[in-house]
Structure 1
Amino acid sequence: MEEQVEIQTVRVPQRAYYGDSELELELPANWEVVLKPMPGWDAPALSNDQIRAALAHPYGSPPLRELARGKREAVIIFDDMSRPTPTSVLWPLVVEELHAAGMIDDQIRFIVGLGMHGSHTREDMVRKLGEEALRRFPVYNHNPYEHVTYVGDTRQGTPVEVNNEVWACDLRIGIGSILPHPFAGFGGGPKLILPGVVSARTITHNHGPLQTAIRARAAGTLAPGHLRNEIWQDMADAARLAGLHFKVDAILNGHRQVIGVFAGDFEAEWDEGVKMAKRVYATSPEPDADIIISNAYGKSNEGMISAWSPGQAVGKPKDQVVVITSPQGTVVHYLLGDFGKRAEGTLARERMLPPNVESMTIYTPYPEKSALLMFTRAGNVVESDWSRVIRKLADRHPARARVAVYPDLTVQYIDQAGAA
């Protein structure tokens, strides 16, 4: 007769854009579990009227309805499925502003800022924008390989080639979120332009030679939470050259709800927004943990971001479990992805175990060997049966274990001051 083991249950969010539900993870009852949500996890969502008020009081810019007066064509650039922004909540209020200026629907189009990610289907667009947007407006994918215009070089020497449709419009608006980013410090602000709607040549220089040069002299600045590092400054130069007129950035809670909105000039609003972002997303580490469970929710189709979030493995050596529950699978990335055993993106590289991590298990109910190949080459194991994950960890920790559970390490980040 099989011995019955007492269990405890921990719930983490899963399936962003696909029902946004909770996943129950069963752990041995004698393990000490420490849940590590970010400070803003349950902050209340803003009402539409509160969002309207933020749009009416922009930073460093006249209100959008004033900018839009007399304009012929408007483009609204929005982030893709790799970001948790609830764009369907925000775009109707942006369009209200354009209508107040006298623009009509036929003067407005949407473009998804894919950067080097794969194109979106109609289903993807509906999940981001809702059915109404696709009925009323043309919605386009960005193509980084064609239909771009050279508009100048950044101070770091990045040649900026911007989407032709974006460049042709005399009013350029962006909708996104300010979120921690692995090497830009924080997203939002100019990042919807570079990499969002520029060419492969532009992105390759920013993500490749420029990043390599910066890492050689100031590697510590290329991490979540670092403000205005050189990569971000290069993106800001590109956005200024591309003529981004008005940016709307959201701050999100742990449920993908909007809890703050900052709008206006993309640098001015970002400077204000990151103040709130740090308060909302910065999370203290758990140095005494034996095991860390790094859940990927908001950016679940780039779920391995949660594996390398700096600072989570401080203290004693740890075992790590990365939880990814994305029915969409891993986002296609033309620069960083694998496209065959002998074909990979220009900047693809193998990923080693993070510092202080002794073993890594990637748990996903949606396994895809090709997409996770670059991670499993380092000896990481992919499992789709949670009981096998627990058996492996229990063998390594036969008595008891202290477990830190981070509900979404693609959105929250470890406060490096707290990790020191």
Structure 2
Amino acid sequence: MQPPRDRSGTDFAAATAAAVREVFADSATVVEMRAAPCPEAPLSPGILQPAVDAVDAGERVVVVVSDHTRKTGAAAILPMLLDGWRQRGVRPEDIAVLIACGSHRAPTPDEVGHILGPPAMALVGNRIVIHDAFRSDCVPLGRTSRGTPVAVNRLLVETPAVVTIGGVVFHYFAGFTGGRKSIVPGAAAAATIAANHSLTIAADAGTFHPAVQLGRLAGNPVAEDLEEAAAFVPVRGSVQTVLDGTGRLAGVFTGSLAETHRQACNLARRLFACTLAAKADVVVASAGAARNWVQSHKALVNASRAVREDGVIVLDAPCPEALGSQSLEQWLRRRTPSAIIAGIAESADINAQTALSTLLRGRQTVLVTQMTADAAALTGMRPAATLPEALRQAADRLPPQRRPHPSVLLMPEAWLTVPA
């Protein structure tokens, strides 16, 4: 029985429940974890008015939107912003869109169309810039107090009005996505991103910095450095959204970058932080529609918070684009956490922390994936062709005393929900 390829919501939960019954019969105690239900948030020109009012007649404006790896609702928001600016006297030819890819691959033309939507595509035309951390013309602006050299896409520096659209969920080392991440890492140079990401590691302790945690902003060196770095770019206005597991808008916040991000983080915490009564023997988690391991890894991080120390994670992560980064592959080839820590001490790199996290958490994980055997082996996880096969492996790896009546936690939205 192969799990459905959409790997989402009800379909995954149903397939998983069937596989659990196939492997454990009625001996397992099964619990499912999902995000809190919420009504769809209204979206109207009035809600977006503060971002419209942030741009004056005759000004040039650049709208920074997230790439294909982030859901923000930009396709619904952009037409309203563009129409509002038109009414204020902003000329269409003075409006550009910057797709903030950070170090991710560039979106395909179809993906750009999906990000922006047909109405905005028609209005913006060819005034779309796709940021490339390695190749775009970036302007040095200074250093943060932690020494991160800040350089961002020239378009942000030379355009008078900068407006951002971001989506907020938990992030395993930045605390939350969205907000300042539209600027850094989204529109930053590779060296800026690498220096900031290196703050995840406490080199003297040989592991992650204790304050680098899901949902933590205050005291988190990565989060605080991101905020300081992004402040080098004056952002006129911001729209921050929270989307549920189906892609519906759960919240829309418009105003200053800092305030809208704070409001969105509060909502994301209420929706996606799920109370965990007890850790499970087996956690069965879905990485959803994530295209590669860089993105799928976030589901592993969340699942690892819910499993017992002697338990097993079964992770369904198709990864049609494999690992998603040559840099990540090079770090994984170091094979051990200690070798990665030693490498980070020598030079900062964008994907080192993801490699370290993968190897630390992969030890107790069975992976159901479309990746090649060689690519999957680099993660340190045991591969399985199907979900029932993965569950049988999990059952065999449990301590003998846990096997007769294991507790099983289903996380069909593991990329989104955070056990707390």
Other-structure match for 1:70: 57
Kept in 2, the 8 Å contact 1:186–1:224? The answer is: yes
User: Which of 208, 225, 236 is the equivalent residue of 1:234?
Assistant: 225
Structure 1 150/183 Cα, relative in aligned 2: closer, same or farther at 3 Å? Answer: same
Deviates more, 1:135-144 or 1:165-174: 135-144
- Does residue 36 of structure 1 match 2:33? yes
Partner Cα separation in structure 1 for residue 255 and residue 11 of structure 2: 35
Give per-residue Cα distances to partners, 1:119-148, cap 9 Å, x unaligned.
111022122222333333232211212311
Partner Cα separation in structure 1 for residue 305 and residue 145 of structure 2: 34
Other-structure match for 2:236: 245
Q: Higher helix fraction: Structure 1 or Structure 2?
A: 2
Q: Secondary structure at the match of 2:232?
A: helix
Deviates more, 1:392-401 or 1:81-90: 392-401
Other-structure match for 1:168: 158
Structure 1 111/21 Cα, relative in aligned 2: closer, same or farther at 3 Å? Answer: farther
Kept in 2, the 8 Å contact 1:177–1:250? The answer is: yes
**What letter matches 1:297 in structure 2?**
G
- Does residue 145 of structure 1 match 2:146? no
Tell me the C-alpha RMSD between the 2 structures: 3.1
Other-structure match for 1:136: 123
Structure 1 373/394 Cα, relative in aligned 2: closer, same or farther at 3 Å? Answer: closer
Kept in 2, the 8 Å contact 1:324–1:363? The answer is: yes
The 5 Å alignment of 1:218-233 reads 219-228=209-218, 229-233=220-224
- Does residue 399 of structure 1 match 2:404? yes
- Does residue 294 of structure 1 match 2:281? no
Give per-residue Cα distances to partners, 1:250-297, cap 9 Å, x unaligned.
112121211101122111222222222211111122525210012112
Other-structure match for 2:305: 312
The 5 Å alignment of 1:10-409 reads 14=6, 22-23=11-12, 24-25=15-16, 26=18, 27-28=20-21, 29-30=25-26, 31-39=28-36, 42-49=37-44, 52-56=45-49, 63-137=50-124, 138-146=127-135, 147-208=137-198, 210-213=199-202, 219-228=209-218, 229-297=220-288, 299=290, 301=292, 302-309=295-302, 312-313=305-306, 315=308, 317-325=310-318, 327=320, 329-330=321-322, 332-333=324-325, 335-338=327-330, 347-348=351-352, 349-350=355-356, 351-354=358-361, 359-364=364-369, 366-369=370-373, 372-375=376-379, 378=380, 380-396=381-397, 399-409=404-414
Counting aligned pairs with the same residue, the percent is 22
Give per-residue Cα distances to partners, 1:32-67, cap 9 Å, x unaligned.
21001122xx31212333xx34323xxxxxx22222
**What letter matches 1:414 in structure 2?**
P
- How far did residue 70 of structure 1 move? 2.8
**What letter matches 2:250 in structure 1?**
I
**What letter matches 1:185 in structure 2?**
G
Count of residue pairs brought into register by the alignment: 385
Partner Cα separation in structure 1 for residue 332 and residue 275 of structure 2: 39
Other-structure match for 2:337: none
Structure 1, unmatched stretches of 5+, are 1-6, 57-62, 416-420
Structure 2, unmatched stretches of 5+, are 335-342, 344-348
Other-structure match for 2:340: none
Q: TM-score, normalised by structure 1?
A: 0.81
Other-structure match for 2:339: none
Other-structure match for 2:338: none
Q: Secondary structure at the match of 1:152?
A: strand
Deviates more, 1:210-219 or 1:29-38: 210-219
Q: Secondary structure at the match of 2:314?
A: strand
- How far did residue 331 of structure 1 move? 6.7
**What letter matches 2:296 in structure 1?**
G
**What letter matches 1:263 in structure 2?**
T
